């Protein structure tokens, strides 16, 4: 069975969702899962599609970015599908893991993506090191630690951690850390 999965990030992308479902239907997908959700948030339709797939089925997506948010996420999806003997077809890349060539191509593409990510991180680290050397990189200024005295004074007045956090514009965790620092030193 061909199982289609379509996703757009926002409600404004209705035409994109319609185009994906149209293409998936034209490809012969008899079961369709679709959703409008950010790639980083929970994706119930994707989870349902992956759960529904059985041995011999194929999950079909029009583009890779509709399916996975990262190389690691893609790897997890593929591992889950392989464990169930379910194939993956990515239409715009011409990749179908039901074939040995498709599996190879997907691994090559994932490897290239991982390589590019590592190169980008390396360039970023080099840029930060250069900026630090030139005195141009200071990093983010600590906000909560700079307000430790204010936090302690407000706590002494009887304000709750939530009230202190709201009043100073910082997180409750930061308030908790500031208040527990003397306990660590003791």
Catalytic residues, which ones? 9
CA 23 to the chain's CA centroid:
25
Closest CA to 96 of 114, 81, 84, 83: 81
Start-to-end C-alpha separation, the chain:
65
Contacting residues for 63 by C-beta, under 8 A, at least 6 apart:
90, 91, 92, 93
Query: What is the C-alpha separation between 111 and 96, in angstroms, rounded?
Result: 17
**CB-based burial, 146-168: b 16+ in 10 Å, e otherwise:** ebbeebbebbeeebebeebbeeb
């Amino acid at each position: 069975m061909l199982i289609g999965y379509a996703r757009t990030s926002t409600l404004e992308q209705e035409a994109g969702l319609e185009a994906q479902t149209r293409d998936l239907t034209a490809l012969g997908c008899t079961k369709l899962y679709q959703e409008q959700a950010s790639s980083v948030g929970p994706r119930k339709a994707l989870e349902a599609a992956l759960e529904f797939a059985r041995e011999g089925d194929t999950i079909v997506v029009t583009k890779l970015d509709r399916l996975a948010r990262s190389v690691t996420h893609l790897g997890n999806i593929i591992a889950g599908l392989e464990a169930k003997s379910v194939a993956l077809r990515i239409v715009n890349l011409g990749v179908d893991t039901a074939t040995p060539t498709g599996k190879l191509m997907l691994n090559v593409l994932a490897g290239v993506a991982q390589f590019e990510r590592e190169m980008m991180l390396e360039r970023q680290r080099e840029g930060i090191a250069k900026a630090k050397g030139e005195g141009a990189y200071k990093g983010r200024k600590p906000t909560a630690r700079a307000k430790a005295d204010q936090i302690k004074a407000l706590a002494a007045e009887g304000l709750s951690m939530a009230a202190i956090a709201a009043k100073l514009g910082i997180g409750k965790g930061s308030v908790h850390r500031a208040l527990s620092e003397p306990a660590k030193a003791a």
